[in-house]
Structure 1
Amino acid sequence: MQMLPLVINGRIELSLTPGAHSRLIKEIIEQFGPRYAPEALVLYVGDTGAKMRHFDKRGFKALGLTFDSHGKFPDVILYDKKRNWLLLIESVTSHGPVDAKRHTELSLLFKDAEAGIVYVTAFPDRQTMARYLSEISWETEVWVADAPSHIIHFDGERFLGPYEETP
């Protein structure tokens, strides 16, 4: 079984378990990240073979975040230092978009974050997205890997940014 190579943060070499889910994670880091959060740091990469393939404990601590290793993290977490955003990205090939329940889980897990939170669901293609369209939560973003230069915004007061309720 051939592992899927991945380089993050310009220097850290990882190997992901082969499969569609890992291929999409690789595309998120190599295509989505540079396009929508240039120079963002990869703080976390989950993998089907190793839940915490990459976990930047020091990076999270610098943001004032500490976690129980049993927390249900999204598949990829990017930190855009320039805009002070944490992008929480779910890689969806067979289950798991950012639906209302997942949105609540993630908001509770990251409630102490000083950075703005951006919720993103990534799909390999529009056919996969179509199966989950009715489940996707408002105030989130959707990215489709086979059309990397497009992003779909699900309502909210701003495009690709943390959603902040107005009083």
Structure 2
Amino acid sequence: MHLGAGGQNVLLKSMAEEFCSRFTPGGQVLHIGDADQKLGVFQQEDLAALGVEPNLHGRFPDLIVYMADKNWLILMEAASSHGPVDAKRYDELKEVSAGSTAGLVYVSCFPDRASVRKFLSDLAWETEAWAADEPSHMIHLNGSRCLGPYEDDELSPSDVHY
């Protein structure tokens, strides 16, 4: 896979190569946004077959990987230039993927642990966080699952009121 050298593409490349090789082995990249080209990989027919109608106006995640063996869609945000999966972004991603026949997994990806610390209080519950500088580790944010979708009867971050 070739990505341009600009912007968040360094992190996107790490996400595709380092994260995916460790945590989504055998997964199929259905979408990866390229900061230089706007779309680096875009498998619209495969996404549509899973019930996901792409919205290309800033609401789609930076990287989507489908794990057929588990029927999971991994929705990944590169949190280098924009923010991570916070409660608002969680709801946006859930909405844009509402028709999905696959379970949804949300992951915020950062260039390094220092960036994770900067955004830690913003990260949505029932999501994962990953730092490219320590690629073999992931942070699981509460809940009963580690790298897996939550069912509709489980609370989403927007359901919790303080």
| Fold equivalence (TM over 0.5) | yes
More strand by proportion, 1 or 2?
Answer: 1
Matched, 1:37 2:9: no
Aligned with 2:102 (options 82, 98, 115)? 115
Aligned with 1:132 (options 119, 122, 125)? 119
In structure 1, the residue matched to 2:47 is: 60
TM-score (ref. length: structure 2): 0.89
In structure 2, the residue matched to 1:153 is: 140
In structure 1, the residue matched to 2:34 is: 47
Q: Which amino acid aligns with 1:40?
A: G
In structure 2, the residue matched to 1:3 is: none
CA deviation profile, 1:38-75 (whole Å, cap 9, x unmatched)? 10000001122222221101211221322343351111
Structure 1 gap ranges (5+): 1-6, 8-13
C-alpha RMSD over aligned residues? 1.6
Aligned residues: 154
Aligned with 2:88 (options 97, 101, 118)? 101
Q: Is the Cα–Cα contact under 8 Å of residues 141 and 151 in structure 1 kept in the other structure?
A: yes
In structure 2, the residue matched to 1:11 is: none
Structure 2 gap ranges (5+): 156-162
| Regions of 4+ moved over 6 Å | none
- Equivalent residue of 1:161, what SS? coil
Aligned with 2:4 (options 11, 17, 21)? 17
Query: CA separation in 2, counterparts of 1:166 and 1:45?
Result: 29
In structure 1, the residue matched to 2:158 is: none
Instruction: Calculate percent identity across the aligned residue pairs.
Output: 45
Q: Which has the higher contact order (CA 8 A, sep 6+)?
A: 2
Matched, 1:92 2:79: yes
Query: CA separation in 2, counterparts of 1:123 and 1:23?
Result: 11
